[in-house]
């Protein structure tokens, strides 16, 4: 049997290496605040554990507030921006 994922809308921000404060505001939970390792590396806390993100990764927030990271190339293959959805 095959399954298709239900379409959901997620909030996302790209880790650029220069926007750590913005990423922290996006994540929004002091107990799960990202950890800056260097300008190019970041740790985020996900449901599966700590995730090591490199510059360019997208950080997503799901419908239940869960956080996870996605490589830039996979993000662009999987997600399209919604017009006027800010």
In tens, the pLDDT along 2-19 reads 878 888 889 999 999 999
Task: State the pLDDT at residue 85.
Answer: 60
Residue-range domain boundaries for the chain: 11-78
Tell me phi and psi for residue 75, to 5 degrees. -60, -45
Contact (CB, 8 A) for 79 and 6: no
What sign results for the dihedral spanned by CA atoms 53, 54, 58, 59?
A: positive
Share of the chain above pLDDT 90, in %: 64
- Of 10-14, 64-68, 73-77, 80-84, the one with minimum mean pLDDT is 80-84
User: Per-residue pLDDT tens for 15-51?
Assistant: 999 999 999 999 986 667 899 999 899 999 998 999 9
| Measured CA angle at 45 (ends 20, 10), to 5 deg | 75
Strand extents, DSSP E, 3-75: 11-14, 35-38, 41-46, 49-54, 58-61, 67-70
């Amino acid at each position: 049997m095959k399954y298709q994922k239900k379409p959901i809308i997620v909030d996302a921000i790209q880790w650029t290496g220069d926007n750590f404060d913005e990423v922290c505001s996006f994540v929004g939970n002091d107990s799960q605040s990202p950890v800056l390792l260097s300008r190019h590396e970041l740790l985020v806390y996900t449901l599966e554990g700590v995730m090591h993100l490199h510059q360019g990764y997208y950080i997503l927030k799901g419908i239940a507030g869960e956080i996870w990271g996605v490589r830039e190339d996979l993000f662009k293959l999987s997600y399209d921006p919604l017009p006027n959805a800010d």
